[in-house]
């Protein structure tokens, strides 16, 4: 598409890079699936103005597909960072919604990197569309754009980390690693509340004093006990997750049962090295429950619907 046919902002991005010098990039790894449907380099327009170049990275030794998404044309570095974070969350939601294994690849504090595109060899010199003919690619762009242009707050770091762990779990090589990754993805969402019971606070304080006054306990044991006792004033991670499920999946009577079973299995895997012959089926169940939870939190329906289980399943 010639740049003189573009709306004003996109014209500035394409032909006047010094007015909007900053960009943000996000590296993406896809599993052995063609569901995303991109073939070669692609240029996407999200919302009214955002230009995203999707560039495949060739690596014959790597079994998965790798892409780098370049978000073009921001006046400030903070705008570029904000867009990069929102794009990362949008891509993760697309992976959850479409049930596609995906991993964000980064070695920095944030999953996006801000750069000055006027000094970058990948600076946008023109705009064209390629590799967008498949229905899979069109659906992905639709889901990503829906989330990117929504009011979902990018400062929801818990949701970002949780979806990142969840989407990456499906790339694990073994069923046990995948199962543990799926269940563990819930923990960033657990906002533990403090118990505000005067009697409990007194019990905890008295117990701490007894431990600290003990002449028999070694110092390292005292420190360990002090930490455990202090944590009694707030709810456990598992209880916080159950509360989250009750809040968002009130109609799903089997969700808590599947969650309890999944946590018990994860504990035995991690602490006893246990094996389960039907672990794949259990992974599918907890995966569907977590996807419904994300859908309720984000406020959008899953494009690949999740199964709702009953007592007969």
Q: Are residues 120 and 204 in the same domain?
A: no
% pLDDT > 90, the chain: 42
In whole angstroms, give the CA distance from residue 32 to residue 63.
Answer: 7
For residue 308, is it within any domain? no
CA distance 108 to 92: 18
**CB distance 201 to 179 below 8 Å:** no
Our count of domains for the chain comes to 3
- On whether both 40 and 150 belong to a single domain, the answer is yes
Q: Is residue 275 part of a domain?
A: yes
* Residues 150 and 248 grouped into a single domain: no
Task: For residues 50 and 28, state if they share a domain.
Answer: yes
Rounded to a whole number, what is the largest CA-CA distance in the chain? Answer: 82
Does residue 70 lie in a domain region? yes
- pLDDT at position 212 over 60: yes
pLDDT band for position 248 (cuts 50, 70, 90)? very high
Domain that includes residue 227, residue range: 198-233
* Whether 219 and 266 share a structural domain: no
Mean pLDDT for 37-60 is: 76
Choose among 93, 157, 145: nearest CA to 301: 93
For residues 242 and 282, the answer to whether their CB atoms sit within 8 Å is no
Residue 309 resides in a domain:
no
User: Is residue 305 in a domain?
Assistant: no
Q: Within this chain, do residues 100 and 22 fall inside the same structural domain, yes or no?
A: yes
What is the model's pLDDT at position 12?
Answer: 67
* Position 34 pLDDT exceeds 70: no
Q: Contact at 8 Å (CB) between 76 and 22?
A: yes
Give the mean pLDDT of 282-309: 92
pLDDT band at 7 (very low <50, low <70, confident <90, very high): low
pLDDT of residue 151: 80
Query: In this structure, are 60 and 128 located in the same domain?
Result: yes
pLDDT for residue 47 is more than 70: yes
- Split at pLDDT 50, 70, 90, the class of 8 is low
Whether residues 109 and 10 share a domain: the answer is yes
My answer on whether 12 and 83 are in the same domain is yes
Domain contains 217: yes
φ, ψ for residue 102, nearest 5 deg: -155, 145
Q: How confident is the model at residue 194 (pLDDT cuts 50, 70, 90)?
A: confident
Q: Establish if 306 belongs to a structural domain.
A: no
Looking at residue 96, what is its pLDDT?
A: 94
**Higher per-residue confidence, 61 vs 166:** 166
What's the pLDDT band for 310 if we cut at 50, 70, 90? confident
Q: Is the pLDDT of residue 245 over 70?
A: yes
Tell me: do 44 and 149 sit in the same domain.
yes
**Least trusted range by pLDDT, from 59-68, 97-106, 128-137, 147-156:** 128-137
pLDDT tier at 203 (50, 70, 90 boundaries)? very high
Token duo for residue 211: 């431990």
Q: Which of the pair, 63 or 119, is modelled with greater confidence?
A: 119
Let me know if residue 7 belongs to a domain: yes
Q: Are the beta carbons of 88 and 152 closer than 8 angstroms?
A: no
List, for residues 124-134, the tens digit of each pLDDT value: 433 333 334 45
Query: Which range has the worst mean pLDDT, 58-72, 78-92, 217-231?
Result: 58-72
Q: Which residue carries 């701490």 as its tokens?
A: 208
Mean of the per-residue pLDDT values of the chain: 83
If asked whether residues 47 and 68 sit together in one domain, one would say yes
Residue 173 region by backbone torsions, left for phi larger than 0, else alpha for psi between -120 and 50, else beta: alpha
Q: What share of the chain is helix, strand, coil (3-state, %, to 5)?
A: 50, 15, 35
**Residues 111-129, mean pLDDT to the nearest whole number:** 62
Q: Which residue has the higher pLDDT, 70 or 38?
A: 70
- Whether 125 and 22 map to the same domain: the answer is yes
Whole-number Å distance between alpha carbons of 124 and 140: 23
Among 233, 250, 283, identify where a domain stops: 233
Q: What is the pLDDT of residue 311?
A: 75
Distances (CA, A) of 33 to 63, 171, 306: 11, 11, 19
Q: Which two tokens stand for residue 11?
A: 């014209």
């Amino acid at each position: 598409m010639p740049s003189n046919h573009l709306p004003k902002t996109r014209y500035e991005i394409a032909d006047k890079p010094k007015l909007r010098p900053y960009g943000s990039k996000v590296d993406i790894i896809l599993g052995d699936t063609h569901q995303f449907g991109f073939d070669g380099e692609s240029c996407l327009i999200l919302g009214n103005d955002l230009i995203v170049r999707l560039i495949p990275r060739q690596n014959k030794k790597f079994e998965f597909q790798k892409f780098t998404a370049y978000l073009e044309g921001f006046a400030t570095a903070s705008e570029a960072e904000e867009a990069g974070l929102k794009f990362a969350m949008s891509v993760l939601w697309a992976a959850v919604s479409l049930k596609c294994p995906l991993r964000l690849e980064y070695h920095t504090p944030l999953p996006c990197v801000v750069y000055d595109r006027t000094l970058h060899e990948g600076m946008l010199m023109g705009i064209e569309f390629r590799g967008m003919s498949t229905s899979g690619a069109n659906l992905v762009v639709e889901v990503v754009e829906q989330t990117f242009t929504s009011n979902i707050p990018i400062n929801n770091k818990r949701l970002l980390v949780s979806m990142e762990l969840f989407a990456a779990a499906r790339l694990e090589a073994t069923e046990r690693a995948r199962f543990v990754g799926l269940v563990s993805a819930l923990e960033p969402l657990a906002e533990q509340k403090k118990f505000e019971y005067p009697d409990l606070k007194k019990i905890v304080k008295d117990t701490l004093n007894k431990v600290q006054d003990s002449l028999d306990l070694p110092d390292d044991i005292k420190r360990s006990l002090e930490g455990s006792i202090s944590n009694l004033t707030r709810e456990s991670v598992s209880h916080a997750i159950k509360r989250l499920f009750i809040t968002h999946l009130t109609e799903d009577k089997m969700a808590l049962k599947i969650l309890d079973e999944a946590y018990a299995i994860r504990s035995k895997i991690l602490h006893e090295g246990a094996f389960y012959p039907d672990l794949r089926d259990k992974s599918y169940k907890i995966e569907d429950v977590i996807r419904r939870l994300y859908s309720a939190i984000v406020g959008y329906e899953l494009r690949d619907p999740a199964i709702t289980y009953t007592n007969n399943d």
